[in-house]
Structure 1
């Protein structure tokens, strides 16, 4: 602590300041005391130096709080210079700089005693006046535990303009160039290198980064026994590509061409009397995932599936290799429902989504050889389109066309790392949006992973700059996630959810997926929970189309919505998207979107190949890859910022209720039709009662209406009240976790998996079949209770359940 003493006309002031300069205060001293101190100063100056000292400092002892006091004394001339006031005239002849005194020892003792007395007096006075703080010049430090007021410094229009200004084509071109790699397969050196770069950048942005390490089991080709395909005794080939999680071994059987391996394809084959049991299906890539193709084939009794890329679907050469997985699910299939932490031990288990048949990819050249040897009837005309070399007519296969398939993949353990960074909210930091992208791929993965990772990093940079430089203050937090092992079925994302599900419950309220967001420029498609439809529609109206001139103000909504925006834009969510486990496993409302060149929302054709590179994506976007990436970043950024900025969470409960009502109405209508058909027994007739289902939906409807009324009658600027309302909104899709046939799922209404309202509608049509009757009853009970549980969650307090629903 330092103190300065200075005088004005009536008082002497002591200026006290800490050594570190953080705080100072001023205390007043009567003028009489100041004159006494001045005389003492003059006397001491005469004795020791014979001249006036304009600046004399005394060091005090340490005070009781561990600070050091220093007393500074200035004469009146110094005070006049500092304060601009006069305290009297001074005779320059009183003290001459040239005077010298010769002192005797006794007099020195007296003077020293006087000096000690004056010093002690001043020190005691200064100590007694220490706590008189009048005007601090530095503001007190802000306690991190004290939140900002909810009113932001920026309005929504200003926020979206700031974001758009910070996302430029040039920055994306540079980012895409920096993050392009030839190979970064999960767990490889390339994957680790990218993870390190992302972690370092999060650190540079002060985003408190961390990593999440998992040891997962994946399947790779054997280096000793290659996978092979034979037609009779002739070897067709040994492909480099493969399908992870296939069953292994060697099987042979009749080969049958099954188009895309969809249920309708098998119905057609059965209609033309093709025996499917024990067959080996030859199918082409596209329409549905590899896992769905294999699961559908296994469902009709196939022994193996061979999948090839037809040049009619994907422009490629004869040696195009396909890579993928056939796990009908997500995450590590050998720790289903549990995280793959290295310190966690579980009994041997595996997912029910693993196939029990063989699956292998082959090249177009190998497919041409097989078709050239196949006989049997011609394929239907709708299946006949092909551009395989030397194949003019596709055959379905004859009884004696026997093929052997050898699959010798091996399981290995790989270490993967998810990388995270966070921008913390200022009102509700424990409520957050998660935005993520996978960074691994089979090959270059330019469209599948590189573009999404670049968008993730550019948004992290832009929003951090808004926070540091532009006064942006999000109410809620934003978590940026870079996933690994996405190509094996969203393994990184799913393992994180499994490991931290209890921590994420009622905290993470939205997930935004950036995988494969740019695959063209002609169409815009979105797969999302109905809770997010309102945010999606508003965002489409705010973001301009990337394929129009820069001066055009035509929005995505104007460009792609048409007369009915939901029919034009909304598509089902796919199981291979990392948003899928967020929605189905954890119940967190999620969204995936993409710009594509396919009206039917088909995948970018090079996703599962080594051909997913810059040149092909530039061709697909009309050489506007960076422009479309900027637009995609604006779409994701607007949704993120809207969700963390507004008082009220932009989750549309009313829309969720309308869509759920539509599903329930379909079930009731179809069950009524089945009862009237006379095809069910008395016991089955009773089981088809929809009373409890309609009752559960009624409870949900009343709970949703009650929430809407509460919102309309609430002051949402009240932080605590707004938090309570938002918590009720977040509970909408967090129904009770249910299990059926080892498949865990939360969101039964909009999951797209086995336990869904859509499946229930299909089962009603086939209810009279004994093998489906019990499955229907199981699904029916689960659907009913889940809707009722969702209604209970939506109400809020347990004592309000009976009163409100």
Structure 2
């Protein structure tokens, strides 16, 4: 204010200028502004402040731009500067960059790197580190080994974790032992036992039943020998302890005695056998449920638990019984390798034995141990490599070798990643299981607990259990999807017994033909992964010449380093390294290549073979009038055709695809992974039929059970027609659903039923 005059300055924003210029008010404001006095000019001091502020804003803007640009272009951090080589890029980096494609190494370089880091000297040192005489599941020795494995994983900068379960393990009597008497004579102290046998006392005449296979019992039935209430004496081998007991139970036997015959096992007369008789895997008191401490589950027990007593005896005890047995002679084919001084007879009513079993059921806390090397592209897709850690006694070949290879493979591959020379596209999970001796309990409980998390994420399981028991031959059990991968791998690994050849030359030969894969049995450590979880799986073994028999020391207290070294002719460490290369090559292939090396068309052959067998039996039964004409195989044949077309279409798509396209490869890989998972029958409950795979599993839903049912029609002249129709329907739609999933999107589905 200066006297009565006022000086005012009005500054309009650009928006205001536009507005006033269009609504007629602008001219009025312009005229009014010109009547005001002008603002005094800026001083030099004001100009200096303006220049300084402008420079400051420019410098701050430049620094922000530089830091953002540098963050986007920064190089990958060395793995040894991170807590674990779990991922070469962190989450923040991934949000600022394009999808990362790992450096593609030549496969020869990858193999060479693994060979350089998987050395015999390191394997030998680890064998000593993980060798124990006392590491029964849940024992202090088992926990000590678990901590060693965990420490080794952590030393390799792997992300680690553990998994605890509270399971029911059946142990020998807390005081004393189980007893067996024959003709009133006590056969001696029993160190061995069979977990999950029924408890109690069984008494009755002894009947010799060879290996206790179904055909052995059928032979005895043909001889009109009554097996009800009898004590069945069988030799170990051919089938599992659990199958022998289950077969005897179907004959209404009261008990089973199992011994190692000298013709099959090079053991002393005083060697005791250990094992279990649960016809299944996992904790038999929580079938289908994980045995977590907080889990609420109904009070049920597995249908695979026997209701008769079972006990192992030594070869010497078996001789004592057999020398006194009467009755008719056993068939010649059963006695071609008689024990010295023993005449094999089937027994009579005076050969009375008594078997008393008092095993103890104990709730036990067990721990699985895990370490992971995360992939840089598909981190959420992984291959699992596992090994059993526990054993009844030393368990050198059974568990020590596998545990050693587990940590040495983890170390070798971790070093490859840490050095920045190898970047796996997918993750590798290394797992140390326990309670494997009781029927893969640790592994099965993990699968039951995390089945939904593993679905479509676990590409494969590779077992390291018992991978070396000799040096002359090679055998494997696996999903047909993995047969080509295995074949290629064996041609890449040099044979130890003949360096001029590869291991493929050692594949077991049956009937003059190379037999790459054997049928997977329930006792196989990979069985629950394949048949319960639908994860393509494999287990393998470098073993002795077929003529020399199997490694005899499994399930005994004589499975020691010296025994395995003798069985491998002194080449134990070299053979273990070769087995490690086989497992390592398969695992690295599955995490290295753009596309999974799994062949979906191999299942076409398996499905076709079974369906042809079914069609032949149906035709035969209908021609003989034993089966009504309303039973048709047309729909089953159509489903088989749909699968074959879907497999061929996918193979063509792979040939026509750009395999450098990351997203395209991921879609194709997901279609491949749907095959195994969709061969699990959705029509049965995992609590009653846990092994739901219709081709490789066990239960009335399988194609094998359908074949057996048709065979029953033929042998007995009658059967359940309605059940047969249901089996046909469920098998048909399981195969068709697998075909639909393999085809890809819903508009690509082949519905020519």
TM-score class, shorter = 0.7 to 0.9
Distance 1:161 1:151, change over 3 A: same
Aligned to 1:587: 534
Aligned to 2:728: 780
Distance 1:334 1:221, change over 3 A: same
C-alpha contact (below 8 Å) 1:425/1:476 kept by paired residues: yes
Pair 1:790 & 2:738 matched = yes
C-alpha displacement of 1:515: 0.6
Output the CA distance in 1 between the equivalents of 2:104 and 2:480.
31
Output the CA distance in 1 between the equivalents of 2:725 and 2:270.
49
Distance 1:761 1:804, change over 3 A: closer
**Offset from partner CA, 1:689-726 (integer Å, 9 cap, x none):** 11221122122222222222222222121111111111
Aligned partner of residue 61 in structure 2, secondary structure: coil
Aligned to 1:416: 366
Output the CA distance in 1 between the equivalents of 2:157 and 2:326.
65
Distance 1:382 1:802, change over 3 A: closer
Aligned partner of residue 379 in structure 2, secondary structure: strand
**Offset from partner CA, 1:72-122 (integer Å, 9 cap, x none):** xxxxxxxxxxxxxxxxxxxxxxxxxxxxxxxxxxxxxxxxxxxxxx99998
Output the CA distance in 2 between the equivalents of 1:167 and 1:693.
49
Distance 1:262 1:648, change over 3 A: same
C-alpha displacement of 1:432: 0.7
Q: Which one of the candidate residues 120, 132, 143 is aligned to 2:62? A: 132
Aligned partner of residue 542 in structure 1, secondary structure: coil
Output the CA distance in 1 between the equivalents of 2:165 and 2:324.
46
C-alpha displacement of 1:629: 0.4
Distance 1:387 1:181, change over 3 A: farther
Aligned to 1:737: 682
Output the CA distance in 2 between the equivalents of 1:651 and 1:387.
46
Aligned to 1:526: 476
> Where do residues 329-478 of structure 1 align in structure 2 (5 Å cutoff)?
329-385=280-336, 388=339, 391-478=341-428
Output the CA distance in 2 between the equivalents of 1:565 and 1:652.
25
Higher RCO (C-alpha under 8 Å, 6+ residues apart): 2
Aligned partner of residue 767 in structure 1, secondary structure: helix
Distance 1:715 1:601, change over 3 A: farther
Pair 1:252 & 2:203 matched = yes
Aligned to 1:686: 630
**Offset from partner CA, 1:604-636 (integer Å, 9 cap, x none):** 221110011111111111111111101100000
Aligned partner of residue 669 in structure 1, secondary structure: helix
C-alpha displacement of 1:509: 1.5
Output the CA distance in 2 between the equivalents of 1:744 and 1:765.
24
Distance 1:158 1:252, change over 3 A: same
Aligned to 1:511: 461
Distance 1:563 1:296, change over 3 A: closer
Return 229-238 or 152-161, whichever deviates more. 229-238
C-alpha displacement of 1:401: 1.2
Return 710-719 or 136-145, whichever deviates more. 136-145
C-alpha displacement of 1:148: 6.1
**Structure 1 unaligned spans of 5+:** 1-117
**Structure 2 unaligned spans of 5+:** 1-47, 77-88
C-alpha displacement of 1:775: 5.3
Aligned to 1:763: 709
Return 573-582 or 597-606, whichever deviates more. 597-606
Return 399-408 or 182-191, whichever deviates more. 399-408
Aligned to 1:44: none
**Offset from partner CA, 1:462-491 (integer Å, 9 cap, x none):** 111111115101111111010000000000
Q: Which one of the candidate residues 272, 276, 280 is aligned to 2:231? A: 280
Distance 1:184 1:774, change over 3 A: farther
Q: TM-score, normalised by structure 1?
A: 0.80
Output the CA distance in 1 between the equivalents of 2:545 and 2:366.
33
Distance 1:167 1:119, change over 3 A: farther
C-alpha contact (below 8 Å) 1:202/1:421 kept by paired residues: yes
C-alpha displacement of 1:802: 5.4
Distance 1:564 1:229, change over 3 A: closer
C-alpha displacement of 1:263: 1.6
> Where do residues 97-136 of structure 1 align in structure 2 (5 Å cutoff)?
125=55, 128-133=58-63
C-alpha displacement of 1:365: 2.3
Structure 1 or 2, whichever has the larger Rg, is: 1
C-alpha displacement of 1:208: 0.3
Aligned partner of residue 538 in structure 1, secondary structure: helix
Aligned partner of residue 436 in structure 1, secondary structure: strand
C-alpha contact (below 8 Å) 2:286/2:300 kept by paired residues: yes
Aligned to 1:573: 520
**Offset from partner CA, 1:149-181 (integer Å, 9 cap, x none):** 435341111111111121222221111111111
**Offset from partner CA, 1:704-762 (integer Å, 9 cap, x none):** 22222222222121111111111111001112434279112332112366543233223
Aligned to 1:58: none
Pair 1:677 & 2:624 matched = yes
Output the CA distance in 2 between the equivalents of 1:614 and 1:801.
55
Aligned partner of residue 694 in structure 1, secondary structure: helix
Q: CA RMSD in A?
A: 2.6
C-alpha displacement of 1:311: 2.4
